[in-house]
Amino acid sequence: MTVSKAEEPWREHYGHPCVWDQQFPPLTLPAMFAASAAAHGDRPLVEFMGRSFSYAALLAESRAFAAGLQALGVRKGDRIGLYLPNVPLYVSAYYGALLAGAVVVNFSPLYTAHELQAQVADSGARLLVTIDSAALLPTALKVLEGSELERLVVGSLPALLPALKGLALRLFGRKSLTPIPARPEVLHWAQVLSSAAPEAVPLDPEVDLALIQYTGGTTGTPKGAMLTHQNISANARQVNAIDPRAGERDVIMGVLPLFHVFANVAVLNRTVVNGGCIAMLPRFDAGQALKTLQRVRATAFPGVPTMYQALLDHPAMARTDFSSLRVCISGGAPLPGPVKDRFEAASGARLVEGYGLTETSGVVSTNPYEGENRVGTIGQPLPGTRIRLLGRDDPEVDAAPGEPGELAVQGPQVMRGYWNRHDAAGAAFAQRPDGAWLRTGDVAVLEPGGYLRVVDRIKDMIAVGGFKVFPSQVEAVLEDHDAVKEVLVIGVPDAYLGEVPRAYVTLNAGAQTSGEALRDWLNARIGKHERVDQVVVRDTMPKTMIGKLDRKALRAELGL
């Protein structure tokens, strides 16, 4: 099918330093990792709090974990859950599970036991990997007791640190650690590692799954996006292809959580492709990030807008040496223009905005690292990525030329479908003579030169500092309160997080409670990123003609 230049205007004015119309040959993630380790074995892949882990060492540990999993009976297609912060163990567990032929399932360390248990059940995960952190291990043990999980594998956080820091944590930070219980279904990480060679597992990159990554839709029901080896390896290569300095010294700040698809591709797998190093931090702390950036002389810093705002607000920002930093890539939420301007002025580095989805393995488009950076847009599509705009009212047709439409994507990074949700997967795609197109739920306009600008959002998801919050899930918790009759949760603007959830309720007759009390009750029962800033008690709620609560009308009433 011939496509005109008018339909794909980026062809004529491609700002990235590569050819847009290119192919990415099928490649499994284990093969990608092995190739980089063969070429860069002695290089550090991870720098963690002052300790380095080489490509060769992490590949060897991945192979030992793969063999250990196979000895435990893990077979091709089995699901292995990772419930981990950013620690070097994540790399070994991730690639080791894939080497064993298993499918990785990422679970957020922010999850409550209820949320984690629900996704363990949905994914059918047989085994869960975590560490002995007091913030994680107790939750993982609750899920082990109340789910179909067969085993829990627990790594030691002190063992991952430099020797003196690890000793200090054992001696003085014991409150932050939870002892690993002596139970047959709870295994120490070291117990699982095997000296045997893992059994080779044949993998078809374009068919076999590498990752089930949970997302959500307009109903707020979590769905597992099925990402193949090719989806992820292609997106990693796409992201690497747009880097004009690929192949040069590459030290990337690893502060984005690796359980998130953005970091999984743009930090972990893209760095492996390029033979670079990840300066990894277990969580984002502005002061620690600035200190680490200067110590390792980082060259890139992918993040979400709230991270850049937090860096600007930190007193150490003014005395940090940014001379090594070349580019920062912002995603997960719209980047405010003032934040971009202030950060670029203070750091001297380029801050570019991009766009992606869980369903696209991470990245769809971004502004060029060098050249025209069109503020307020999400840039141009990655190489090998096509976009089109669908009619907002009728996705069976394309939007009229020059008019806004629902952004749809086609490319090697687009998911295979949703785990156990065939109907939802069907609704996620628009069928055209040239194949299936992923519907993003975002309304965009295509500007001259092929730059995309997102102007509206179809979905009800709330973007909180790069994390997605689904109103119906928060509403379901608040509805359990005896005093609550009706509830709607919407996103309201926030200068730091971009958006925060806010709940609006009516009360049952005779109920005596306050918005403050309801807020405290609710926030104690949901994840940190889901917490509302207020619960507003109302006399009535807007409803549609058939009596359904009307979220759109509430937003209009509030001027949002």
| Domain end position, chosen among 202, 232, 255 | 202
pLDDT at 149 over 90: yes
Q: At how many degrees (to 10) do helices 229-241 and 29-40 cross? A: 50
| Domain end position, chosen among 202, 230, 258 | 202
Separation CA 537–CA 308 (nearest Å): 34
CA 187 to chain centre: 28
Q: Is residue 306 assigned to a domain?
A: no
Q: Is residue 405 assigned to a domain?
A: no
Ramachandran category for residue 375: left, alpha or beta (phi over 0 → left; psi -120 to 50 → alpha): beta
pLDDT at 491 over 70: yes
Separation CA 56–CA 62 (nearest Å): 10
Summarize the confidence of residues 300-320 as an average pLDDT.
92
Joined together, the tokens standing for residue 418 give 């949703």
Separation CA 383–CA 368 (nearest Å): 12
**DSSP state letters, 70-87:** HHTT--TT-EEEE---S-
Separation CA 325–CA 299 (nearest Å): 4
User: What is the SS3 string spanning 186-233?
Assistant: EEEHHHHCCCCCCCCCCCCCCCCEEEEEEECCCCCCCEEEEEEHHHHH
Beta bridge partners of 456: 443
Least confident of 2-11, 460-469, 516-525: 2-11
Q: How confident is the model at residue 459 (pLDDT cuts 50, 70, 90)?
A: low
Nearest 5°: CA angle at 266, between 192 and 108? 50
Joined together, the tokens standing for residue 454 give 């997102």
pLDDT at 461 over 80: no
Q: How high is the pLDDT of residue 380?
A: 97
Summarize the confidence of residues 23-48 as an average pLDDT.
98
Cβ-defined contacts of 503-506 (< 8 Å, 24+): 503/474, 503/475, 503/478, 503/532, 503/534, 503/535, 503/536, 504/535, 504/536, 504/538, 504/541, 504/554, 505/478, 505/535, 505/536, 505/537, 505/538, 506/537, 506/538, 506/539, 506/540, 506/541
Handedness of CA 320, 324, 330, 335 (dihedral sign): positive
pLDDT at 269 over 80: yes
In CATH, what number is assigned to the domain containing residue 99? Answer: 3.40.50.980
Beta bridge partners of 536: 504
| Domain end position, chosen among 156, 171, 202 | 202
Q: Which of 122, 140, 120 is nearest to 130 (CA)?
A: 140
Joined together, the tokens standing for residue 463 give 């973007």
Q: Is residue 415 assigned to a domain?
A: no
pLDDT at 272 over 90: yes
Please give the share of the chain, as a percent, with pLDDT higher than 90.
Answer: 73
pTM: 0.85
- Give residue 107's domain range: 29-44+54-202
pLDDT at 458 over 90: no
Summarize the confidence of residues 258-269 as an average pLDDT.
95
Summarize the confidence of residues 261-286 as an average pLDDT.
96
Q: How high is the pLDDT of residue 546?
A: 46
pLDDT at 220 over 70: no
Separation CA 282–CA 84 (nearest Å): 9
Residue 37 amino acid letter: A
Summarize the confidence of residues 376-398 as an average pLDDT.
92
Q: Which range in 217-221, 422-426, 434-438, 505-509 is most confidently predicted, on average pLDDT?
A: 434-438
pLDDT at 409 over 90: yes
**DSSP state letters, 464-518:** ETTEEE-HHHHHHHHTTSTTEEEEEEEEEEETTTEEEEEEEEEE-TT----HHHH
Q: Is residue 155 assigned to a domain?
A: yes
Q: Which of 82, 465, 361, 239 is nearest to 252 (CA)?
A: 239
Least confident of 137-146, 329-338, 481-490: 329-338
Q: How confident is the model at residue 1 (pLDDT cuts 50, 70, 90)?
A: very low
Separation CA 538–CA 550 (nearest Å): 14
Strands 350-355 and 327-330: parallel
Q: How high is the pLDDT of residue 544?
A: 57
Average pLDDT, the chain: 92
pLDDT at 217 over 50: no
pLDDT at 190 over 90: yes
Q: Which of 247, 272, 263, 242 is nearest to 382 (CA)?
A: 242
Joined together, the tokens standing for residue 173 give 């930070």
Q: What is the dihedral of CA 277, 306, 455, 242, to 10 degrees?
A: -10
Summarize the confidence of residues 148-177 as an average pLDDT.
89
Q: How high is the pLDDT of residue 2?
A: 44
Is there a contact between 325 and 296 (Cβ–Cβ < 8 Å)?
A: no
Residue 495, CA distances (Å) to 156, 347, 453, 464 in order: 38, 21, 21, 11
In CATH, what number is assigned to the domain containing residue 481? Answer: 3.30.300.30
Eight-state DSSP code of residue 61: H
- Higher-confidence residue of 538 and 549: namely 538
Summarize the confidence of residues 518-537 as an average pLDDT.
94
Q: Dump pLDDT digits (tens) for 103-132.
A: 999 999 988 899 899 999 999 999 999 999
Summarize the confidence of residues 308-327 as an average pLDDT.
94
Q: How confident is the model at residue 218 (pLDDT cuts 50, 70, 90)?
A: very low
Q: Is residue 533 assigned to a domain?
A: yes
Q: Is residue 79 assigned to a domain?
A: yes
Summarize the confidence of residues 17-45 as an average pLDDT.
97
Q: Dump pLDDT digits (tens) for 48-105.
A: 999 999 999 999 999 999 999 999 999 999 999 999 999 999 999 999 999 999 999 9
Total tally of structural domains belonging to the chain? 2
